Amino acid sequence: MKQLREKIASEGRVLSGEVLKVDSFLNHQIDPKLMQAIGEEFSRRFKNDGVTKILTIESSGIAPAAMAGLTMGIPVVFARKRASLTLTEGLISSEVKSFTKQTVNTISVSGDYVTADDTLLIIDDFLANGQAALGLLDISGQAGAKVAGIGIVIEKGFQNGGKLLREQGVRVESLAIIESLADGKVAFREESEVR
Ligand code: G4P
The ranges assigned to domains in the chain are: 2-189
**Over 70: is that where the pLDDT of 108 sits?**
yes
Long-range contacts of 22-30 (CB under 8 A, 24+ apart): 22/154, 26/60, 26/63, 26/64, 26/125, 26/153, 26/154, 27/60, 27/125, 30/63
Question: Relative to the CA of 60, which ligand 1 atom is closest?
Answer: 34
Residue nearest to atom 24 of ligand 1 (CA): 20
DSSP strand pairing (146-156 vs 119-127): parallel
What is the rounded radius of gyration, in angstroms, for the C-alpha atoms of the chain? 16
Each residue's pLDDT tens digit, 19-54: 999 999 999 999 999 999 999 999 999 999 999 999
Residue 26 annotated as lining a ligand binding site: no
Band of residue 192 on the pLDDT scale cut at 50, 70, 90? low
**Over 80: is that where the pLDDT of 195 sits?**
no
Each residue's pLDDT tens digit, 119-161: 999 999 999 999 999 999 999 999 999 999 999 999 999 999 9
Residue 29 annotated as lining a ligand binding site: no
Residue nearest to atom 16 of ligand 1 (CA): 126
The residues, ordered by sequence, that sit 6+ positions from 39 with a Cβ below 8 Å of its Cβ are 64, 66, 67, 68, 69, 70, 71
Residue nearest to atom 28 of ligand 1 (CA): 126
Distance 105 CA to ligand 1 centre (A): 13
**Over 90: is that where the pLDDT of 186 sits?**
yes
pTM of the model: 0.95
Instruction: Calculate what percentage of the chain has a pLDDT beyond 90.
Output: 88
**Bigger pLDDT: 99 vs 4:** 4
**Over 80: is that where the pLDDT of 163 sits?**
yes
**Over 60: is that where the pLDDT of 162 sits?**
yes
CA angle at residue 91 from 145 to 93, to 5 degrees? 75
According to CATH, the topology of domain 2-189 is: Rossmann fold (3.40.50)
Burial 51-67 (b: 16+ CB within 10 A, else e): bbbbbbbeebbbbbbbb
C-alpha dist (Å) from residue 67 to 42, 54, 84: 9, 10, 24
Residue nearest to atom 17 of ligand 1 (CA): 126
Query: Cα(61)–Cα(112) distance, rounded to whole angstroms?
Result: 21
Question: Does residue 43 sit in helix, strand or coil?
Answer: helix
Residue 27 annotated as lining a ligand binding site: yes
Instruction: Calculate what percentage of the chain has a pLDDT beyond 70.
Output: 97
Give the residue, out of 126, 138, 152, 160, with the most ligand 1 atoms within 8 A of its beta carbon, to mutate for a pocket test: 126
Q: Where are the alpha helices (DSSP H) in the chain?
A: 2-11, 32-46, 62-72, 131-143, 161-167
Query: Cα(48)–Cα(5) distance, rounded to whole angstroms?
Result: 25
Each residue's pLDDT tens digit, 69-79: 999 999 999 99
Band of residue 193 on the pLDDT scale cut at 50, 70, 90? low
- Ligand 1: lining residues by beta carbon, under 6 Å: 19-22, 27, 59-61, 98-100, 125-132, 156, 161
